[in-house]
Amino acid sequence: MGFFFRWGALGVSMILMIVYYWSRMHPDEEISFMFGIRMQSKYLPWALCAMNLLMGGMPVAQLAGIVVGHLYYFLEDIYPRTSGRRLLFTPAFLYRWLPLHLNRNTAFAQGGRLGRPGAAAPAATRHQWGAGRRLGGR
């Protein structure tokens, strides 16, 4: 998008894309914005865009980040859940650079089945937390 619109730097768009994706992954989290304004996290990208507009800026770069973030959210989360097929894949050289035990998508890297929310993780990727200890000496 930056090439076609002749934008110099797309840092703001990248940040808003990441914020949008995070806000879609955690839509009901309560957050505080600008001096204690409480809202759900799904409104954060729009609040940042509105704040830029109120300060006299043009939120075109922020809106571009939101559009790209929504496209990524759709292709990475919504479409695979509804169709059972993934369209975005991590390049194989990244799997060679990073050990599999550091990769959260190990099932995808090894050609496993599509992970669904709420489904139990494969035994190899589950954490063994232990029994824990109570605080306070009781």
* Sequence ranges of the domains in the chain: 2-109
Q: Judge contact between 30 and 38, C-beta under 8 A.
A: yes
Give the 3-state secondary structure of 64-122: HHHHHHHHHHHHHHHHHHHHCCCCCCCCHHHHHHCCHHHCCCHHHHCCCCCCCCCCCCC
Q: Dihedral of CA 39/11/79/89: which sign? A: negative
pLDDT band, residue 126 (cuts 50/70/90): low
Measure the CA–CA gap between 18 and 23, rounded to whole angstroms: 9
CA angle in degrees (0–180, nearest 5) for 96-117-63: 80
pLDDT band, residue 73 (cuts 50/70/90): very high
pLDDT given for residue 112 in this prediction: 45
Give yes or no for residue 134 having a pLDDT over 90: no
Which comes out higher in pLDDT, residue 6 or 16? 16
Which comes out higher in pLDDT, residue 107 or 116? 107
Q: How far apart are the first and last CA of the chain?
A: 60
Average pLDDT over all residues of the chain: 78
Tens of pLDDT, residues 32-72: 988 888 999 999 999 999 999 999 988 888 898 999 999 99
